[in-house]
A = this chain, B = another copy of it.
């Protein structure tokens, strides 16, 4: 029998306990031993919980218990769980976590502390999809050329609704909140930060890149409008909040932003609250992983798969997958050096000469136009000019947009979205 303590008994913690009970037959058959929760740590003992093991509010008591084999960290936050996981690992106890924020900030320190003690985190990225497992073990023969992930179900639900129903952002967010797909304060999800944390974890396994959320480009979906949807539909694009990792020579781009991506790509076909990750390996080509990215049971499925792994194996390998450092040191690419295609929406006075002047500025910065659309349904004095470009450097488009925004016929700060081909 393997004894575990669950630190943080919320939705996921309750699911872990319930599934260990409900699926005891298959879990014991696979692990070879029974896995049993013997203690839970909670903040509030008064709250009703449907678990049958004892609860305490004392992390210290839990950490000092010798009979516990594995600690499951589901507390949330960064600083407190860091101390807790550190202590457990230093005591030689295996740890499983679902905490992406913890790993976005402390994964390399924790790997160092863990040493030969097992520390697993499948649930931290894309919930029930075993993407850590796939990337770290399944694709281990490959140099990873790129990753594109739909890593946040809330954002994907909102974008899917906007695209399919032509609905606007604010009203769709409200529905998502009513359905429980979005938090009361949705910033962490729709602002791209949640996806950013997950992307950093994937990037460590793929590239050994040690970066923090502050180091990478993160943009949210808040400013996407009906005009952008119109443009995307006209040209056969979907709009997805993508976490993108891309290797170019010795540099790795890491960025999270709303992205236009061709409807013919598998990643564009992932709709609603579902998550998906497309990985390009230099030898295997594209593989894609799809499933539920959140929810108590899906997340618990990943947590328990880690528990079973720990029970079955003596020791796997360093948590981030590299037994020794990569010979070629990869470094994070500067934002200015990103090269991609761009979409630009600019509200302008509806008069002759406007497009010519904007085209000229783009041309001055070496940017060539791919397509132009004007959404003229409303008869107003201003109109939205929708432009896509050929491949351009981020620094060039940013400079061009700065200049365009100073033109007297431009009525708003231009909005830019990247197009991935």
Residues of A within 8 A of B (CB): 15, 19, 23, 25-32, 122, 128-130, 133-134, 137-143, 208, 266, 269-270, 281-292, 297-298, 300-305, 308-309, 312-317, 321-328
Contacts and interface: CB of A to CB of B under 8 A. Distances in A.
A291 B285 CA distance: 8
A267 to B, nearest CB: 10
Contacts of A29: 208, 322-327
Contacts of A315: 313-314
**Residue of A284, A301, A303 contacting most chain B CB atoms (<10 Å):** A284
B25 A141 contact: no
B281 A287 contact: no
A130 B141 contact: no
A377 to B, nearest CB: 30
Given A26-B143, A313-B316, A314-B314, 14 more contacts: A26-B142, A29-B322, A29-B324, A128-B287, A130-B137, A130-B139, A133-B138, A134-B289, A141-B304, A281-B301, A285-B291, A286-B291, A312-B317, A313-B314
A283 B326 contact: no
Nearest to A208: B29
A323 B266 contact: no
A308 B133 contact: no
A140 B305 contact: yes
B141 A308 contact: yes
A279 to B, nearest CB: 9
A365 B348 CA distance: 69
A375 B266 CA distance: 33
B297 A292 contact: no
Tell me what chain A mostly uses at the interface: helix, strand, loop, or mixed.
mixed
Contacts of A122: 138
Nearest to A328: B25
Contacts of A284: 128, 291-292, 297-298, 301-302
A291 B140 CA distance: 15
A35 to B, nearest CB: 10
A208 B291 CA distance: 24
Nearest to A19: B283
22 contacts: A23-B141, A23-B142, A128-B283, A128-B285, A129-B138, A129-B287, A130-B138, A130-B139, A137-B305, A137-B308, A137-B309, A138-B302, A140-B304, A140-B305, A141-B302, A141-B308, A266-B269, A283-B301, A285-B297, A287-B290, A287-B292, A289-B289
Given A133-B134, A139-B301, A139-B305, A282 B324 contact: no
A278 to B, nearest CB: 8
